[in-house]
Amino acid sequence: MKIGYFDCFSGAAGDMIVGACLDAGASAAQLREELAKLDLGEVELKIEKVKRQGIAATSFVPRIIQEQDHQRNLPGIIKIIAGSDLSGSVKGKAIKIFERLADAEAKVHGVRGEEIHFHEVGAADAIMDIVGACAGLELLGVEKVYCSEPAVGGGTVDGVHGTLPIPAPATAELIKGIKIRSTEVEGELLTPTGAAILTTLACSFGPLPTMRIEGVGYGAGQRDIPGIPNVLRVIIGSEEQVGYEGVDFNEVCVLETNIDDASGELIGHVTDKLLEAGALDVYCTAISMKKNRPGTQISVICRLTEAARLEGILYQESTTFGIRRHICQRSMLAREHVTVETAFGAIRIKVGYFNHQPTTWSVEFGDCQRAAEKHQVPIKEVIAAATAGYKMGE
């Protein structure tokens, strides 16, 4: 599997991510073709080799010559991206990045995500930065992204909302749950756009993973910083498969807390809130606590970037006084959904593959539930029909 590791020793911005991909071997001509698929008006892309503190790097600077009159809120940006001829993967990742950025901005300003007008980050050049980053990684064939602990800088930065502390409020929201690197550099090193791209695409933040290095690229920032090269390094390589082919390995965060003074109704409520907020899984275990009191251990599995937000829900909604947090590795079977036709309609089946062979499968309960309600039959009849349909097609 080809992977990319972004070494953010001097922070990261959207244009630096694109520049690093180009410097690592992504075709500038192909990237221009991809960005031309966006309905943004007449665009000029300035791509050139520069030096930052003696390090040769690629600079990527998009400039709109004649811009189309597009709405610069989240629905308008999604419309631009979704209506393009970009690949489904690039569209999906770019939209997810903008949604994450909108959520951060919305929290800072106390409004809903769709009400956000992006100002600097909603300008057409930022759309090209985000789409360019996704397209650049696709051109490189990168399937999984890792990232170092990012440097954020210090002091203040001037924006449309006035002078703001660094990290900027939106950036601070985006990097919750991630360890950052301390530096003495005054100025903004990690921008909201850069933070949104990396926290959306990266599966973990930490040291360089075990890999066979195949290429290195440097993306240039647009200013010189005394004492440190203002570049973002990307290391491209192949990840040695651990275990079996078709089994994916990644890192997740596990949150745990023990509670002995909450009702079953409250535990159920907290579980629902956590799942609605994006937890990968939530489960409860009956335990015996101090003074032989019966209690419940709530365990939450989540992405590293979501740990702080889900901890907040546990503190706000449950009766806990403390939460344990640890990082662990998990393996996952490659999976796909297949659809079988039954007398009750189409039902999806989730199939897991081990060593490229189907090894386990599960009927989608929600599909069965809806079909049972529609046809007024017991749900077990729908499950049996879906099971029979899948087995016939094996």
pLDDT digits (tens, 9 = 90+) for 307-361: 889 999 999 999 999 999 998 888 888 888 899 999 999 999 999 888 778 889 9
CA distance 255 to 252: 10
- Distance from the Cα of residue 75 to its chain's centroid: 19
Q: pLDDT value at position 121?
A: 44
Both structure tokens of 129: 């930065």
* Residues of the chain where predicted confidence (pLDDT) is lower than 50: 71, 113, 120-122
For 140-144, which contacts have Cβ atoms below 8 Å and span 24 or more sequence positions? 140/2, 140/4, 140/21, 140/24, 140/25, 140/26, 140/236, 141/2, 142/2, 142/3, 142/4, 142/236, 143/1, 143/2, 143/3, 144/1, 144/2, 144/3, 144/4, 144/203, 144/239, 144/250
Amino acid at 207: P
At how many degrees (to 10) do helices 14-23 and 124-140 cross? Answer: 30
CA dihedral 118, 121, 127, 128 (to 10 degrees): 160
Q: pLDDT value at position 107?
A: 84
Peptide bond before 167: cis, by omega within 30 degrees of 0?
yes
Q: Does the model's pTM come out above 0.75? A: no
Task: Give the domain ranges of the chain.
Answer: 2-238, 248-322, 332-393
User: Does domain 248-322 bear CATH number 3.30.70.1380?
Assistant: yes
332-393 CATH choice from 3.40.50, 3.10.20, 1.10.1740, 3.30.2010: 3.10.20
Whether 339 contacts 348, CB under 8 Å: yes
Torsion angles phi and psi, residue 173, rounded to 5? -65, -40
Both structure tokens of 180: 């950052």
Q: pLDDT value at position 376?
A: 95
